[in-house]
Amino acid sequence: MLKFPKWFYKWSDDNPTDLKGPGILAGTVASAVAIATIIVVYDNPNRTTDQQTGPRGIGMDVTKFVRDNPQYDPYEESYVAFPRVEAPEGTPTAAEAYGDSVVAFGDMDQANFDRLQEAMSAWVGTKVVLYDDGEVDETTLAITKNCVEATQYLNDSWDTHNLASDGRGVNCYTCHRGEPTPPGAWFKAGAVNSAAAGWAAVQNRVMVGNTYTQSNFTSLPVDAVEKFLLDGNSIKVHDLESRVAQQPGDPTWQDAERTFSLMNHQSNALNVNCVYCHNTRAFYDPTQVTPQWSITTLAQQMTIDINQTFYEPRSEVLGRESGKVNCMTCHMGVVSPLNGRDMVAEWPELAAPVE
């Protein structure tokens, strides 16, 4: 037989007709038990996870809700791997089968050469051929060759960042994500009109399409990635001097705002905040940065290199501006693109050095 506490019986004797009080109490207790049960069974829906990025005690940690799964790349679910095929004995090489028009992988057997073309077509969302098949034009073939060389260059010359030798690396899908134009590509902002060729032409602008990541809908400059990740301008604009007597048009102010815009872009590209790289009490002190700061600095140099080496010169081949890369192009909102998947396992030729 269920027995209640003594206080309940005493209260009931003193208040024989008052059922509201015990009803509220019973409901409150039942609700608390139900909520506790849900939390235990289904986990706390507001549970957070912390990533410590610096010394403990100074607030250098990144906190996010676990429900947001902040470092999961959903694009991996759409990635299709194309394993190599067993080439029959006597299969000719691609160069032997298709002649001198082959722009890459001429030494590969024809069976796997065709298979790689099939894979690349799926990864970029449009037909890819690596030789003159009578339908492809010279410009498209030249761009395809440029893309292959850029991929190999990234995996070989910048292996310290792309980790191709450590089982990661990049292939066409890393940037393209199944689309002919990578969703994270960017183009130069340019001046609004001839009368706005100065500083105002790159602020307070809503950049539509893929380029919104340049200013993240703020009034900050939209040419930050152009200046820092293409032109290679110095990002080191912070000092301890007062700017009170100077006007907003001062170059140091302009570059500082560009730096804020770039940092905004990088934070969104990796879904992290300032303390991922910096000790926010001393942005100016390079001795108090985190290890991630060095990785990011290396990535900035890599991006400048490949933009200048491959993507900017490509504009001359296209006859128009070519899309370029920044942090978002590969990372797409996570620290480890495609959840760290090995993107060159089946096709190590994509990690071969450019001859």
Binding-site positions read: 161, 172, 175-176, 263, 274, 277-278, 327, 330-331
Is the Cβ–Cβ distance between 231 and 258 less than 8 Å? no
**Residue type at 270?**
L
Angle made by CA atoms 292, 302, 159, in degrees to the nearest 5: 80
Cα–Cα distances in angstroms (integers) from residue 137 to residues 105, 132, 142, in the given order:
19, 8, 9
Q: Tokens in use for 258?
A: 């560009």
Dihedral over alpha carbons 48, 264, 174, 292 (to 10 degrees): -70
Residues at the annotated binding site for heme? Answer: 161, 172, 175-176, 263, 274, 277-278, 327, 330-331
H-run or E-run covering 157: helix 138-157
Half-sphere exposure at residue 44, Cβ-oriented, CA atoms within 13 angstroms: 6
Is the Cβ–Cβ distance between 290 and 276 less than 8 Å? yes
Is the Cβ–Cβ distance between 351 and 344 less than 8 Å? yes
Nearest CA-CA partner of 128 in 138, 137, 118 = 118
